[in-house]
Amino acid sequence: MLEFQSRTQEIIDSMPGTVLRLLAMPMLIGASMLPDTAIAHAIAGDRVFPATLAIDDPSVASEVSLPTVDWFPGPRDGTGNVPNETDVGAELDLLLAPNFAVGISDAWTSQAAGHKDGNYGYQSLEVSGKYKFYENDDDEVLMSVGLEADVGGTGASRVGADSASTLTPTFYFGKGLGDLPDSMALLKPLAVTGTIGFAVAQDRAGPDVFQPGISIQYSMQYLKSSVKDYDLPAFVDHLVPLVEASLTIGVDNGSHAFGGTINPGVIYLGGRWQFGVEAMIPVSAGTQHGTGVIGQFHIFLDDMFPALAQPVIGEDQ
């Protein structure tokens, strides 16, 4: 562990720019404060699904993301400038009943272009509920359904928060490829997770938006424990390289805009915690004007505090 902390500090010190160091700092803090032996919560058979950054994973649990930080050059504004946007967010989820969790999240946003006065404020408060209705350990499958609500009027319009609420029913899924034949053993660590959401604006002046998302990930931990131990460095055995895509497609009210980002990156699974960093590559100029970066420090509260692994109402199955 001391070797890992020392190497992490070296990596952070070598990073250019304040933003990248801000993204990486929680990794060192977590390595210093939290134990490194535990079982992450999103499990189907031998498969551990990490908490992904751009889309939500298919599990339900008590957990917290603190912080999630992103930076990107936003779309060109009416004056021709490209404001840089920074978001600093947090999310808390609690297991309320067997297979059912509720969550709350928010983010503070800074938008600034050059030396001009910027816009600052909070985004709309988001509350959510998610129910895991299917788990198949043999096939490494998880499925959930949920409802997310952006609460209108709880954020600052100057940073893009809406005055009207939006409801987004969502389907979540995860599938590991550990059931592939042994002749394809090196593909067994692969897994796919995804979301299918439909955001319905409560103010009919706003557009409804189709929101598909997908991640493709490769678990080095799974490679070692369930395929073959190649005696790789311990740090590598904790990595999950992945690519995520979070997309938006307007479907009515004259808005058919296509947007979103493609996010290649890596997650480090540290047992009771994880740290992830990804690039944010826009799929359209209307999303952002160039490539950004996102980082997240995530804590599995149900692993740190076993009492939180039990639902508030009823008994776990």
- CA dist 311 and 113 (Å) reads 46
pLDDT the model gives residue 141 = 98
DSSP state of 159: G
pLDDT at 195 over 70: yes
Q: Is the pLDDT of residue 21 over 70?
A: no
Q: Which residue has the higher pLDDT, 285 or 254?
A: 285
pLDDT of 61 above 60: yes
Q: Where are the domains of the chain?
A: 2-112+121-307
Phi, psi of 20 (to 5 degrees): -65, -40
Structure tokens at 75: 């779309």
Task: Say how many C-beta atoms besides its own lie within 10 A of residue 145's C-beta.
Answer: 17
Token pair, residue 266, equals: 């890596």
Taking CA 247 as the corner, what is the angle to CA 147 and CA 73, rounded to the nearest 5 degrees? Answer: 115
Tokens, residue 309: 């692994």
pLDDT at 33: 43
What residues does 127 pair with on adjacent strands?
104, 149
Average pLDDT of 278-294? 89
More confident residue, 311 or 24: 311
pLDDT at 311: 72
Please answer whether residues 88 and 126 qualify as being in contact, where contact means their C-beta atoms are separated by less than 8 angstroms. Answer: no
**Averaged pLDDT, 184-204:** 94
The per-residue pLDDT for range 84-114, each reduced to its tens digit, is 999 999 999 999 998 999 999 999 999 987 6
Domain 2-112+121-307 -> CATH class: mainly beta
Tell me the per-residue pLDDT of 226-281, one tens digit each, with 9 for 90 and over: 999 999 999 999 999 999 999 999 887 556 688 999 999 999 999 899 999 999 99
Three-class SS state of 180: coil
The mean pLDDT value for 33-53 works out to 74
